[in-house]
Structure 1
């Protein structure tokens, strides 16, 4: 058994995309080094410590806001880890939130058709139907009654330029790994 993982292996273990792992490495959340060939290797111990980390749980236990009316949320992300993180952040700001999840754009459209949420948080890079395609379909389906739309993405600013433009009716875009404080502040402003 090796004492390291490749970035791809770590991404599978952590349930996130490779770009998220790269960002965590750059942020020094996961220990790593580069081989002589320039390939990144991640400490097996550090990856598992990150997976089982209590830091996130401790960071999310403080309620930042007073009690407000129940809001309906829909999280659309194929990463279970990212969905759990978003759920924790939402509950920190909206303790009584009604939160549903969808793993891709198609599933999200079905949920929106049955019960439109007040706030929809979606990843861009998903299987079957990506976040931009889904947002456009929701806009056509619901028009002015569409939910508040927030995008999360592992794409950096340069990569986003290669995609179709983000529609002007999207409230915010947050890059992964998510900045918990900034996203919490954004959600607090939506109360």
Structure 2
């Protein structure tokens, strides 16, 4: 039986169908965007109908160019590209505590992050410079130079200290950088400022 003919999918299958990271699909389930339950063996199953509704919602949504203003009712979107579950959870907590009405989406790696960024056209991208599957400097340069992401503000988070970031200096010029030990203290303010800038530019 083909995937499209089945009534349920695993989290991994949905991630492949939608071109997302598994963690992003899990968060969609947690937010109620996809209907899911667990089997007696503890495996998550996601209903085909809810996946199709989500796809249809994306297809029927208003088409926008990178610079087109969004409707006022549309929540501001932040995309975190980060492979560490610890920092994914920490950023999610900070967003909930300090920034109401903001949608946080998460990608586990650079390739999935680029794909998701293209789908979401987020207001702000938070990117870890050390990611599996792609060179961080290449990813950041791509995000900064591609017209599709011209309205998105960029914040880099990294475990590298200033000396360790030296090889990436050309990609980081003019971009806010948060050293991960300072994430709690620095990220909420930088994120709020970036979101305020996107509102003013709309």
TM range (shorter): 0.5 to 0.7
Per-residue deviation, residues 122-173 of structure 1 (Å, max 9, x unmatched): 1111111133211212233226724110001011111111335234352x10
Alignment RMSD, CA only? 2.2
Q: Normalization by structure 1: what TM-score?
A: 0.58
The equivalent of 2:98 in structure 1 is 93
The structure-2 alpha-carbon separation of the partners of 1:101 and 1:145, relative to structure 1 and needing over 3 Å to count, comes to same
Map 1:175-190 → 2, pairs under 5 A:
175-190=179-194
CA distance in 2, matches of 1:86, 1:105: 17
Map 1:149-164 → 2, pairs under 5 A:
149-164=154-169
Q: How many residues align?
A: 123
CA distance in 2, matches of 1:149, 1:87: 17
CA distance in 1, matches of 2:159, 2:129: 8
The equivalent of 1:84 in structure 2 is 89
Map 1:85-164 → 2, pairs under 5 A:
85-142=90-147, 145-164=150-169
Map 1:1-150 → 2, pairs under 5 A:
70-142=75-147, 145-150=150-155
Comparing 102-111 with 123-132, greater Cα deviation is found at 123-132
Per-residue deviation, residues 81-114 of structure 1 (Å, max 9, x unmatched): 1011011112222222111111111111101111
1:182, CA displacement in angstroms?
1.9
The equivalent of 2:27 in structure 1 is none
State whether residues 73 and 120 of structure 1, in contact with CA within 8 Å, keep that contact through their aligned partners in structure 2: yes
After TM superposition, what 4+ stretches of structure 1 lie above 4 angstroms from structure 2?
none
Structure 2: segments with no counterpart, 5+ residues: 1-72, 197-202
State whether residues 80 and 105 of structure 2, in contact with CA within 8 Å, keep that contact through their aligned partners in structure 1: yes
Greater helix share, 1 or 2?
2
CA distance in 2, matches of 1:140, 1:158: 25
State whether residues 137 and 168 of structure 2, in contact with CA within 8 Å, keep that contact through their aligned partners in structure 1: no
